[in-house]
Amino acid sequence: MTRQPSRAVLRQPRHLLVAAAVAASLLTVSACSGSSDEGGSDGSTDAYGFDAVEQDPSAPITVWVDASRQPAVDAFEEANPDVKLNVETYDGGADGSGSFQTKIEAFNQAGSGWPDVVFSTQNNDAAWASQGTEPFAAPVDKGLFDSSFLDGFTEGALAPLTVDGTVYGLRNDLAPTVAWYDKSLMDQFGYTPPTTWEEYEALGTTVATEHPGYIVGAIGDSWTPEVYFWGGQAPMNTVTGADEFSADASDPKTVAMAEVLDGLNDAGVLAQESVFSPEFLQKHAGKVLMLPGPVWYSGALFQNADSLNAAPGTMTAGVPLSWDGEDPAAGNVGGGTWFVSQHSANLEAAKEFLTFVTSDDRYQVDLAPGLPAYSAAADKWLAKQAEANFFTSDFVDNVGTAATMVWDGWGYPRFSQESVWAKAVTPELAGGESLVDLLPTWETALKNEAQANGYKVS
């Protein structure tokens, strides 16, 4: 029955020994001959920092994107009609569904079928994609891309993709959280945009009595923890060393943030629905006074005819909120990431594609809904926003500032904060429980998940 040795078999020690022996003999041979051609593969270990399969410059590449990234693919195809792409859309791993990882693992089992390029909405995929006997993600800084290109990314943009000093993918966009607000409504109501969480809570309670029906935030999405708790510097996602995780729900900042949200929730000024749901639009369109959230809300919600469709010159982004007397900090919601497969037979095409979608003006400046991670593109994107003046006030400055403020106390573990929040907190919250009461549940759920994923929990 054993027609082909599979990975499961290879893991067994006898076979491991054989594999090790073969590898060792290959090493000796290549050391003697002074060439690394013995591997039989065209793109050798030296060229890319991993064992590439035999390359075929005319092979079509399979690209996985979420539906929102389709324009990036279209722009690339228009610019490079000679590169053949097979495009497949998937959920992009949204809400921590884990579909990227589970699909890849299925192909690992099959021993074939991997996509060449994958877009993920999550920023923690490098944690697993760089690991294993057959890691999926190709290192990008070991020969695949020039360091001059990689240096072009905004400082820190590649941090979520860096594991043990090696970079395993490219960042699509930066996603710091900002304090979105409707300037015209603020003026009309005579309010000053808050700069601290304390002022934010006070504003919310005032709005509830003076202008009921208007909202100052939303807690229906699974990235609520990144917006509020990451931004509020609550230590709920601390990754130390390779395998240590901690979450502290009794930290004063965690509790304070939960109290702010409970207060606002009781006042009825937080939307319970996902900002992408039809219900959200039905209930709150035109009544969004404030909405702390990632920069990409710009193109995804406000400047989007199918969503909130704000009038030009009304919305703007305030700098991230701070605690009274402290420095402000930003949370971070995703910021998409691009990966190249180690199994790709056309790494050059994959490289060309990634270069285009992360840095080319024709996508990142002209079409992208959020702040590009590639700094030259980011500058132009911001300049374009300044010129269009759709977002008013100090939008450009504030977004630029926020990008430098992402709090480094949150890590990028192998599991998804979003999926834990969705299953442990969202339903209870919808059922009327207070967030303060739910904090221990949340902490336990996070620690359990961390433990199941091999972290030592403290």
Partner 1 sequence: MTPGAWLGRVAMIVVAVFFVQFFVIPIVWLLLASTKSPHDLITTGPFTAGSFSDLAANWNALVTFQDGIVFRWLGNSTYYSLAALVITLVTTVPAGYALALSSFRGRHLLLTTTLVVMLIPNTALVLPIFLELSTVGLIGKPLAAILPFSFFPFGVYLTYIYFSTSVPRDLLDAARIDGCGELAVFLRVAMPLATPVIALVGFFSFVANWNNFFLPFLTVPGKGSPIQVGLTDLLSNVPSFNPTAAGVTAIELPTLAVATLLSVLPVLLIFLFSQRFLVAGLTAGGTKE
Partner 2 sequence: MGRTRSSTSRHRISYVFVSGYVLLALAFGVLPTLYAVRMSFTTSEGTFSGVENFSRVIDDFRFWPAVQHVAAFVAIWLVALLVLVTVLALLVHQIGVRWLSSGVRFVYYIPGALAGASAVVLWLFVLDPTVSPVSGVLHAFGFDSFVQTISPGNLPVIFAVMAFWTGAGGWIVVMYGALNSIPHEVLEAARIDGAGVVRTALHIQLPMLRKWISYMAIISLAAGTQLFVEPRVLSQASHGVVPNDYSLNQLAYLFAFKQQDLNGSAAIAVMLLVVSLSLSVFFVVRGGLFERD
Q: Which residues bind partner 2 (CB under 8 A)?
A: 8, 11-13, 91, 94-98, 101-102, 105-106, 132, 220-222, 272-274, 277-279, 418-419, 422-423, 426-427, 430-431, 448, 451-454
User: What residue ranges in 299-452 does DSSP mark as E strands?
Assistant: 315-318, 337-340, 371-372
Binding status of residue 8 toward partner 1 by CB under 8 A: yes
Total number of residues shown for the chain: 458
CB of 101 to partner 2, least distance (A): 6
Considering the rule CB under 8 A, would residue 85 count as an interface residue with partner 1?
no
44 vs 222 by CB, closer to partner 1: 222
CB of 222 to partner 1, least distance (A): 8
Nearer to partner 2, 94 or 354 (CB): 94
Q: Which is nearer to partner 2, 211 or 423 (CB)?
A: 423
CA angle 328, 334, 339 (to 5 degrees): 140
Nearest CA to 391 out of 311, 319, 335 is that of 311
Partner whose binding site includes residue 110, from partner 1, partner 2, none (CB under 5 to 8 Å by kind): partner 1
DSSP element (H, E) containing 228: none
Q: Does 90 bind partner 1 (CB under 8 A)?
A: yes
Sheet holding 61-65, edge to edge: 85-89, 61-65, 117-120, 337-340, 170-171
Give residue 137's Cα distance to chain centre. Answer: 16
5 binds, among partner 1, partner 2, none (CB under 5 to 8 A by kind): partner 1
Do 227 and 326 form a contact (C-beta atoms < 8 A)?
no
In the list partner 2, partner 1, none, the entry touching 212 (Cβ below 5 to 8 angstroms by class) is: none
Q: CA–CA distance from 441 to each of 255, 436, 449 (Å)?
A: 13, 10, 12
- The rounded distance, in Å, linking the Cα atoms of 23 and 30 is 10
Q: How many helices (H) and strands (E) does the chain have?
A: 19, 17
Identify what 98 binds: partner 2, partner 1, none; CB under 5 to 8 Å per kind. Answer: partner 2
Q: How near is the Cβ of 251 to partner 1 at its closest, in Å? A: 29
CB 69 within 8 A of CB 349: no
Please choose which of partner 1, partner 2, none residue 419 contacts, taking the beta carbon within 5 to 8 angstroms, the exact cut-off set by kind.
partner 2
Asked whether the CA dihedral 290, 291, 296, 300 is positive or negative, the reply is negative
Among 63, 75, 76, 92, binds partner 1 (CB under 8 A): 92
Q: Dihedrals φ, ψ of 360, to 5°?
A: -75, 140
Q: Give the DSSP H or E segment for 291.
A: strand 290-294
Using rule CB under 8 A, residue 355 touches partner 1: no
Angle between helices 435-452 and 252-267 (to 10 degrees): 130
Q: Cβ 308 to partner 2, closest distance in Å?
A: 18
The interface with partner 1 within residues 45-74 (CB under 8 A) comprises 66-71
**Closer residue to partner 1 (CB): 329 or 345:** 345
Residue with Cβ nearer partner 1 (69 or 171): 69
Among 37, 51, 56, 88, binds partner 1 (CB under 8 A): 88
Can residue 274 be called a binding residue for partner 1 (CB under 8 A)? yes
Taking the C-alpha atoms of 380, 382, 383 and 389 in order, what is their torsion angle to the nearest 10 degrees?
150
Toward partner 1, which CB reaches closer, 260 or 350?
Answer: 350
The residue ranges that bind partner 1 (CB under 8 A) are: 1-9, 66-71, 87-92, 94-95, 97, 99, 103, 106-107, 109-113, 121, 221, 274-278, 300, 304, 306-307
